[in-house]
Amino acid sequence: MPQLTNPILPGFNPDPSILRVGDDYYIATSTFEWFPGVQIHHSKDLANWELITRPLNRKTQLDMRGDPDSCGVWAPCLTHDGEKFWLVYTDVKRKDGSFKDAHNYIVWSDTIEGPWSDPVYVNSSGFDPSLFHDDDGKKWFVNMLWDHRTRPLKFAGIALQEFDPAQGKLVGPSKNIYKGTDLKLVEGPHLYKRNGWYYLLTAEGGTAYDHACTFARSRNLDGPYETHPDKHILTSKDAPLAALQRAGHGDIVETPEGKTYLVHLTGRPTTQERRCVLGRETAIQEAYWGDDDWLYVKNGPVPSLHVEVPGTRDEAKYFAEQRYTFENGLPMDFQWLRTPDTDRIFSTGGGKLTLFGRESIGSWFEQALVARRQQHFSYDAETVVNFTATDERTMAGLTAYYSRYNFFYLAVTAHSDGQRELLLMSSEVSWPDGNLKFPAAPVQIPNEGKVKLALTIRGKKLQFFYALEGQDLQPIGPVLDASILSDECGGHQAHGSFTGAFVGVAAHDLNGTASPATFEYFTYRPQHDPSDRYEVEDLVKGRGYGAA
């Protein structure tokens, strides 16, 4: 079979839940504070994946205004019971401190494209829920349990309870069926049934560099569950030079021919500081069932960079330039932050993208920022903006963004006297500071006219550019450190920052007058880079994370 190079879903596609229906494979991944919620990719061959829908796309399903960074939609589970698709997800309203406000919901649809139902609220006892359809027709809901007392652990185990779809609620007793291993932080449960065994796949060790997939089984659904003889079937925690780090939070699928694969979360650090600018991504591993009825990862537990799958990936498509226009609405690759009320932050009338300036770039409620994932270690981005700024509180432009505390922003704005200018802003510090820096002096520009804005990222080096009408691009400001747009720098470090770098356009009006800014197009142009996924093994052979 052909080999592909991991990951299969590059750039901020974590917590994969995989499903096969007939000859079609689907993967659902977390989207956190980005709207619409949950990404679902489709494949026929496990090699080539296409984003086909984000099912949580209206206010009755999801409203994340006020959700802090890296809260929102966590760890979806996508299943099919032979009649319809089921999607389980968490909307996290608070994650820092002793308490977690994590609300779990279920939606369903006859087709993967939807429309998906309004949600049924299930519980709030913990996060990472999933739904298991037993062969007797019953449905079982599992989620990790959170204990704010830490008595003895905050990650207290995996809860199991029956879900009655007719009543739309949990019924019967809840039982803690598995408390994990000494690695602790047990979460991400998925249940399976095979050869008379119930299997429980969990994640442990946290989502940073001690992450792992832990496997257990029982003859009875409610346990007791015994842990796999190898304990962790997948992990990079003891292999610091492996190309794929942070490996854990997985799910299992079988091909029509009976081969077994494990998809899992991973990260690819490419700097000496071990920063994963592309966030947590989805990789795939070949697995097999042993004679002892346990699952093993081929060449595991360390994840393999190269894996045999049925299909051959279209490598040229990965590096193809994407030039986005807006005649047919907002392209699928783009998302925005938190709010379901899109008409308040953007429109695509006249074939252009118009943003209506709202709250600041640090807002958790309503800001006009529309962006796409960074999926390559090196790329160019470009847009043309038409914006009449009135003072220093009105601004619009191009941003490389991770979170409210970690971003770069080249904006068309104005001084307090009304003179229009270009202002380069950055926020490169961790919570609770978050104060702006201004890496370059402002550049005065005419009060009317379009402005071309661009940036280039080459590994960790970020450079902004601008051009007035009829002029060539010229650099503005110094070379900046793009590696701060990473989980490891995202305000709460790797165990508390869960998304990835984005690039896009933004408009902010701190006067509250919703000043419009019009963008004619957006270009994302990937560049080949020694640290990109097809050459990443060159970085790790004998010299760690060598690309400075």
At 27-54, the pLDDT tens digits run 999 999 999 999 999 999 999 999 999 9
Q: Which H or E run includes 539?
A: helix 537-540
507-517 pLDDT, tens digit per residue, is: 999 999 999 99
Among residues 33, 69, 128, 187, the one annotated as catalytic is 187
pTM for this model (two decimals): 0.95
- pLDDT of 174 above 90: yes
The residue-averaged pLDDT of 340-353 equals 96
- pLDDT of 534 above 50: no
29: closest CA among 103, 102, 85, 89? 89
The residue-averaged pLDDT of 404-422 equals 96
- pLDDT of 59 above 80: yes
Tell me, what's the pLDDT at 493?
60
Tell me, what's the pLDDT at 535?
42
The residue-averaged pLDDT of 318-344 equals 97
List the structure tokens of 465.
């550019």
Percent of the chain with pLDDT over 90: 91
In angstroms, what CA-CA distances link 141 with 18, 159, 326?
A: 17, 8, 41
**Where residue 540 falls among pLDDT bands split at 50, 70, 90?**
very low
Tell me, what's the pLDDT at 530?
63
Tell me, what's the pLDDT at 479?
98
132-146, 263-277, 288-302, 498-512 — which is least confidently predicted? 263-277
Active site residue 257: no
pLDDT mean across residues, the chain: 94
64-78, 79-93, 128-142, 417-431 — which is least confidently predicted? 417-431
**Whole-number Å distance between alpha carbons of 153 and 495:** 16
In angstroms, what CA-CA distances link 83 with 78, 80, 110, 161, 255?
A: 14, 7, 7, 22, 20
Question: In sequence order, which residues have a C-beta less than 8 Å from that of residue 39 and are 6 or more positions away?
Answer: 13, 28, 29, 31, 51, 54
Tell me, what's the pLDDT at 544?
36
Tell me, what's the pLDDT at 547?
34
Please, are residues 491 and 485 in contact by the beta-carbon 8 Å criterion? no
427-453 pLDDT, tens digit per residue, is: 986 555 568 999 999 999 999 999 999
Active site residue 83: no
- pLDDT of 531 above 70: no
- pLDDT of 343 above 70: yes
304-313, 388-397, 529-538 — which is least confidently predicted? 529-538
Please, are residues 511 and 394 in contact by the beta-carbon 8 Å criterion? yes
Among residues 15, 210, 380, 382, the one annotated as catalytic is 15
List the structure tokens of 335.
């998302």
- pLDDT of 178 above 50: yes
Q: Please report, for the chain, how many H helices and E strands are present, in that order.
A: 2, 38
Tell me, what's the pLDDT at 273?
84
Q: Which H or E run includes 315?
A: helix 315-318
**Where residue 537 falls among pLDDT bands split at 50, 70, 90?**
very low
Percent of the chain with pLDDT over 70: 95
- pLDDT of 548 above 50: no
**Whole-number Å distance between alpha carbons of 173 and 219:** 19
